[in-house]
Chains A and B, each alone.
Chain A
Amino acid sequence: MLKEYIDAIKAFAEQYLPVVNVPVELWYIVWLFIFGSVVLGGMMTFAGLGAYMERRVAGFLQSRLGPNRVGPEGLLQFMADGIKLVMKEDLIPAAADKILFRLAPYILFVGTLGVFAALPFSKYVGITNLNLGLLYILAISSLVVIGIIMAGWSSGNKWSLLGGMRSAAQIISYEVPIGICFLTIIMMAGSLNMNKIIELQQGSIINWFIFRYPPLTMALFLIYFIASMAEVNRTPFDIPEAESEIVGGYHTEYSGMRFAFFYMGEYGNMFAVSAIASILFLGGWQSPLPFFILNAIFGDYAVLTAIEGFGWFLAKVMSLVFLMMWLRWTLPRYRVDQMMSLCWKVLLPFSLACMLIIGIWMMI
Chain B
Amino acid sequence: MVNYFKSIVLGLWSVLVGMAITIKYLLTKKATMEYPDERWPMPERFRGMVKCDSNKCISCLYCVNICPVSLITLENVKADVPAKVINLEGKEMKRLKDVTKFEVDISKCIFCGLCTEGCPTGAIYMSKDYELACYNRKDMVYQYATPSQPASTAAPAVTAAPATPEGKS
Contact = CB atoms under 8 A, between A and B. Distances in A.
B32 interface: yes
B28 A63 contact: yes
Contacts, number: 36
Contacts of A329: 22
Contacts of B23: 61, 326
A326 B19 contact: yes
Interface in A317-359: 326-327, 329-331, 346
Interface string B3-34: 00000100000010011011101101011101
B35 to A, nearest CB: 11
Contacts of A3: none
B contact patch SS: helix
Interface in A49-64: 57, 59-64
Given A57-B26, A326-B23, A346-B8, A63 B18 contact: no
A330 B19 contact: yes
A328 B25 CA distance: 15
Nearest to B20: A330
B22 A330 contact: yes
Contact of B22 (A59, A326, A346): A326
A65 B29 CA distance: 10
Contacts of B25: 60-63
B30 A327 contact: no
Contacts of B19: 326-327, 330
A346 B11 CA distance: 12
A174 to B, nearest CB: 17
Given A57-B26, A60-B26, A346-B8, A327 B15 contact: yes
A326 B18 CA distance: 10
Contacts of A57: 26
A59 B34 CA distance: 13
A326 B22 CA distance: 8
A344 B79 CA distance: 94
Contacts of B30: 59-60, 63-65
Q: 5 tightest CB-CB pairs across the interface, nearest first?
A: A330-B18, A330-B22, A65-B32, A60-B26, A64-B32
Interface of A: 57, 59-65, 326-327, 329-331, 346
